Structure 1
């Protein structure tokens, strides 16, 4: 990636483009198999082995593009999350918004440069020129699209885009996630959505707001115009979760759009509240090419407050059993260094603090204080565990039942 865009710059080579699967392949999720046969390579070589197809004839695992975002003081949380979801197959882009001092952003960049594994894989980068982000206004969705555009420009080989914040944490290993996604069509979009927006029509869509982050260099809250507007009739407004897992094809459509819908919705979203919770939903459900590719889930475990204020409450040790057994891939939000994160690390991710979650690519010895990922092998090798079975069942509940098609962009 170019230094003008990012702190970290590494050269890389790319493989053949990803292949397209069919919906029938979803049924193969029932076979959660363990892969083996890693070929050992030492850290001194600093190279990874890539294969276009697995030796056992199983589908090639996809590659994910993770955008991880945070704000002032979130550097350590981003590091911890990065270690928990790291896999050499994937791409990672880290963004501390403009509220964070430059020193924190530089420290994060220097940290990334100091990790030999990141240098070897060349797949972790930090945005050097930070965006201002107000979750209430359009700067949030602009920043997300910025990250997606960087992936399209500089990372040629990935299949799905995922946005996470420093408040997120995984509930399964990357080997579990990649294994299950190996059997899915690459055009699916996991995006929570509904056109039944209820009170949001009055509180978030009809008000006209201005986000000063679009034109001021300092932090300032959004402010409201005195006028209100009608609901759109040129397209149907959808809403849902701000966290998504989107296909590369759909991301290309949003950034490069071969018709004007993505830009129209983006301009419309510039003056509404919480567009991060409606932009992708509205575009995907109004685009004939993509509306039947949606899976109505953000793959997160979230528990909402029962109070009148619709916000998720922070998860803790009392939620551990339910969140892990849910089969979801991620959960949010967590307080920094909450003890439940240590339990997830130990029991679910099998990682020690400051180390990576082991996968099939880690072929070193794990006895004593040794890091099994200090020596790596073929990154095409996956060793899914018990989390893969739970996640497979979670995905099957979403896509392999009679409600799947009826939950795709339903107008209400």
Structure 2
């Protein structure tokens, strides 16, 4: 069995259960009010028609999609499979694309920083989706991650010359300086790469691309050509608590958090105006080199060590300085970096979360699929296949078909998921 595949019998069981319960649920689905997706895990292999129905938001598909049993092995077993597999098997079974799909993409290599700490099953969906042989990838593994998890990621990375583990790894604390430091560590490694990358983007382990590599290249070459993309505004009053007093990170016995002290913070170095924005970005190589060498950037980094969530002010603040490479001094929130459903934006930018909220961010459920594929953003956050595996499985297949449909080179069989390749060859 391949790393991501289901057994034939498991597939037939899933389909059989779906058909039986479709009949039952079509009779009863509206008796007790609207259907709400629960915590039931789903199977990991689906007929193409079911995913198509889910993208169309059909109620029956939403019901059926939530009743299959989990067919994917748990992350621990996935780690063991990866450690026991050779590279050619992993590259084939995980459907890595091994050639540039167009001359345009080959001429515009990208760099990625991917910070991860859990959910190996999501990482082995994310990496093949964003992978292209002309790009370069720095993977930062949280030091508090399980041993087998780290070993499995290192094993997978070792199969590629352009994928590597960060040379220095942090114990990352939510909203702490360690999260910002993880990106800096990868940047220090990426500037030493032989790949002449144009922009670097950062991802976390619960992200997934909404645009293909070619679409991302075209987006960055267009409006953001030789410029940095850091959505944000001057620090609002209600966010000043983050930088008015000093914060400290606490890490002990599996617990970690940031807490405020009574020590007041000094003003920003060099009288830099502080901005607030997203922690996600697309940065030019010249800007990254500025971050690593310019005294203003170094001083702001030092000043930010004891602030709350410094990655949400550091990049956007530096990018608003006029003489910085690729800066956008007059920019605001524009720039479609990340699709996120925030709880406080219900009724404003979205109609609600069909999954559930964690730290006020939606973990996408089946009813969010239509919103996701209609989004103009490059990536979306957050996904959790341990709760909503059908969401990521259907997105993964829909995304791969779009990637291959836009290719300008002959396609290889292993680049398709097996069910899609069978449909293609039959027709």
**Partners of 1:318 and 1:49 in 2: how far apart?**
35
> 1:246 and 1:311 mapped to 2: Cα distance?
27
Count of residue pairs brought into register by the alignment? 308
Once residues 100 and 413 of structure 2 are traced to their aligned partners in structure 1, the CA distance between those partners, rounded to angstroms, is 22
TM-score, with structure 2 as normaliser: 0.63
Q: Return the alpha-carbon distance in structure 1 between the equivalents of residues 361 and 253 of structure 2.
A: 30
User: Is residue 242 from structure 1 mapped to residue 276 from structure 2 by the alignment?
Assistant: no
Report the 3-state secondary structure (helix = DSSP H, G, I; strand = E; otherwise coil) of the residue aligned with 2:279: coil
Structure 1 gaps of 5+ residues are: 1-42, 373-412
Identify the structure with the greater helix proportion.
2
177-186 or 363-372, which deviates more:
363-372
Task: Answer whether contact 1:160 1:248 (CA < 8 A) is retained.
Answer: yes
| 1:67 equivalent among 85, 91, 113 | 113
- Give yes or no for contact 2:113–2:138 (8 Å, CA) kept in 1: yes
Measured in 2, the distance between the counterparts of 1:362 and 1:77 equals: 28
Q: Distance in 2 between matches of 1:158 and 1:200?
A: 34
Looking at structure 1, the residues matched to 309 and 253 of structure 2 have their Cα atoms a distance apart, in angstroms, of 21
Report whether the alignment pairs 1:211 with 2:262.
Answer: no
Secondary structure of 1:140's counterpart equals helix
SS state at 2:137 partner: strand
Residues 273 and 324 of structure 1: is their aligned pair in 2 closer, same or farther, counting only changes over 3 Å? same
Structure 1 residues 201 and 231 mapped into 2: Cα distance closer, same or farther (>3 Å)? farther
1:302 aligns with 2:347: no
Query: Cα gap change, 1:99/1:192 in structure 2, threshold over 3 Å: closer, same or farther?
Result: same
User: Following TM superposition, by how much is the alpha carbon of 1:180 offset from its aligned partner in structure 2, in angstroms?
Assistant: 3.9
Equivalence for 1:292: 328
1:107 aligned onto 2:152: yes
User: What is the deviation of 1:302?
Assistant: 1.1
Mapped to 1, the partners of 2:109 and 2:239 lie a distance apart of 35
Distance 1:152 1:368 in 2: 34
- Alignment correspondent of 1:262: 297
- Judged with a 3 Å threshold, the aligned counterparts in structure 2 of structure 1 residues 254 and 217 are, in CA distance, closer, same or farther, namely farther
Change (3 A) 1:112 1:263: closer
Return the alpha-carbon distance in structure 1 between the equivalents of residues 359 and 155 of structure 2. Answer: 38
Of structures 1 and 2, the one with the larger relative CO (CA 8 A, separation 6+) is 1
Instruction: Note if 1:87 corresponds to 2:123.
Output: no
1:317 partnered with 2:354: no
Q: Paired residue for 1:78, among 90, 99, 123?
A: 123
Q: 1:277 aligns with which of 287, 312, 315?
A: 312
In structure 2, relative to structure 1, the CA distance for the partners of 1:162 and 1:59 (3 Å cut) is closer
SS in 2 for 1:146: helix
The higher radius of gyration belongs to 2
Residues 368/323 of structure 1: CA separation in 2 closer, same or farther (3 Å cut): closer
> Contact 1:61 / 1:178 at 8 angstroms: preserved in 2?
no
Partner of 1:226: 262
Question: How much does 1:351 deviate?
Answer: 8.4
The root-mean-square deviation of aligned C-alpha atoms, in Å, is: 3.6
1:148 aligns with 2:187: yes
The 1:217/1:198 distance shift into structure 2, 3 A limit, reads same
Counterpart CA distance in 1 for 2:250 and 2:293 is 26
Q: For 1:221, what is the secondary structure of its paired residue? A: strand
Distance in structure 1 (CA, Å) of the matches to 2:319 and 2:220: 21
The secondary structure found in structure 2 opposite 1:223 is strand
CA spacing shift, 1:103–1:69, aligned 2, 3 Å: same
Structure 2: gaps (5+ residues): 1-91, 93-97, 347-357, 422-427
Structure-1-length-normalised TM-score: 0.65
Question: Is this contact kept in 1: 2:109–2:195, CA < 8 A?
Answer: no
- How many Å apart are 1:298 and its aligned residue? 5.1
Aligned-pair distance for 1:341? Answer: 1.5
Is this contact kept in 2: 1:365–1:371, CA < 8 A? no
- 1:92 is displaced (CA, Å) by 1.1
1:127 corresponds to: 166
